[in-house]
Amino acid sequence: MEGSILPGSKIGIFGGGQLGRMAAIAAKRMGYRVIVLDPTPDCPAGQVADDEINAPYDDVEAAKELARRSHVVTVEFENVPADTLEAIEHIVPVRPSSKVLRIAQNRIAEKTFLAQKGFPVPNFRPVRNPKDLLQAIKEIGFPAVLKTAIGGYDGKGQRKIESPEEVEKVLNSLGQMDYVLEEFVNLEREVSVIVARNLKGEEAVYPVAENTHSNHILDTSVMPARIEPALSKQAQELAIAIAQALDVVGLLCVEMFISTDGRLLVNELAPRPHNSGHQTFDGAVTSQFEQLIRAVCNLPLGSTELYRPVAIANLLGDLWQKGEPNWLAVLEISDVKLHLYGKEEAKIGRKMGHLTATGSTPSEALQKVISARNRLSEFVRFMNS
């Protein structure tokens, strides 16, 4: 394929967390060399990469070093400063581009882009000062959700507003930053769709994932989602259309709400591998991580077919608070897979790993992986009682 970056070449990855780690594993398996840029020495991705550059993400000189040593550069999370990526785009192909990152890392830019392109989003208003907030509340009404425009993830930087009294409290604590006020959506369920696109514009879409959250952090995800086929098709087509509108090269995860009144609404965009696609590592012909490498290297895209319905359950640092888990409690279950990310410190709410299980139905896969995690938790409590 013309313009392909073939095995043996070097792939640079901004970000050394678990997404970069699993992308590096996929790249290494395909014969690529991997260089990771991350502020933390011995980061999860750096543990499996060929080389590691330790520097802040806004260090342009370090980014240029990564660019000069790579044949293509990608990102493992969308909050790498777009200015840093733009500064190296004349040196090396950056996929996805800084233009895509600028949109995805700012909720005002993201929702404005989606709305202007005619994609369905919750009713929203930009908020840049107290006057904007009062006007936005007047137009959207209660309840509403105030979100920081930049930097929020896993529910951070979000606040539900349900009454005029709460507006007064928010006004008194409003920081010097931009926000988005959104209507509060009554959820029937949350889903997501991952799309891959290469430089030629070829596309591959994964089955819809059905997601549950605990304290705003993804708790479980199952593919395919337990929704009507027509709605699954609609969600996949919506994700593909957004990827085309953004001209993404790489991966795009489109997080969506299904409201109780039947609306399919776009919540957020993530132009990188996504937690709700981790089950593809064990359950799909082509994992999202291999697909990322194929896409950014402009290779033919792989099959997104699932072998069987497959689910994940996240393992947070909370699990370690009573001592080191005994992994035998899970590993003795022969068809449950353990993924740990190589993070040294287990903090409450920190994603440390996940379990994967397959089943004859999505519900069976989900129940199996939840049961495995529960068994592990019970074992930890028993061992420390």
Average pLDDT of adjacent 10-residue blocks, the chain of 385 residues: 91 98 98 98 97 98 98 94 97 98 96 98 94 93 93 71 87 83 96 98 98 94 98 98 98 98 96 97 98 98 98 95 85 94 94 97 97 80 52
- pLDDT for position 169: 83
CA distance 99 to 281: 29
Q: Is 195 helix (H, G, I), strand (E, B) or coil?
A: strand
Q: Which CATH class is domain 187-383?
A: alpha beta
Where is 267: in which H helix or E strand?
A: strand 264-270
How many angstroms separate the Cα of 233 from the Cα of each of 194, 245, 250, 262, 302? 13, 18, 21, 15, 20
CA distance 379 to 385: 10
Would you give the distance in Å from CA 298 to the centre of its chain?
Answer: 22
Q: Which residues contact 352 (CB under 8 A, 6 or more apart)?
A: 315, 316, 317, 319, 320, 340, 341, 343, 346
- Shortest CA distance to 298 belongs to which of 41, 13, 9, 102? 9
Per CATH, domain 123-183 is 3.30.1490.20:
yes
- Shortest CA distance to 17 belongs to which of 81, 68, 95, 75? 75
- Shortest CA distance to 290 belongs to which of 34, 32, 27? 27
Our CA dihedral for 72, 239, 224, 340, rounded to 10 degrees, sits at 30
Domain assignments of the chain as residue spans, ordered by start: 10-94, 123-183, 187-383
Would you give the distance in Å from CA 385 to the centre of its chain?
Answer: 36
- pLDDT for position 168: 82
CB 313 within 8 A of CB 372: yes
- pLDDT for position 280: 98
Would you give the distance in Å from CA 224 to the centre of its chain?
Answer: 17
As its CATH architecture, domain 10-94 has: 3-Layer(aba) Sandwich (3.40)
Our CA dihedral for 106, 94, 4, 35, rounded to 10 degrees, sits at -110
Q: Is 381 exposed, middle or buried (0-12, 13-18, 19+ CB in 10 A)?
A: exposed
Q: How far apart are the first and last CA of the chain?
A: 60
B/e letters for 51-62, b = 16+ CB within 10 Å, e = fewer, are ebbbeebebbeb
**Amino acid (1-letter code) at residue 36:** V
- pLDDT for position 173: 77
CA distance 336 to 333: 6
CA distance 191 to 214: 15
- pLDDT for position 375: 87
- pLDDT for position 156: 63
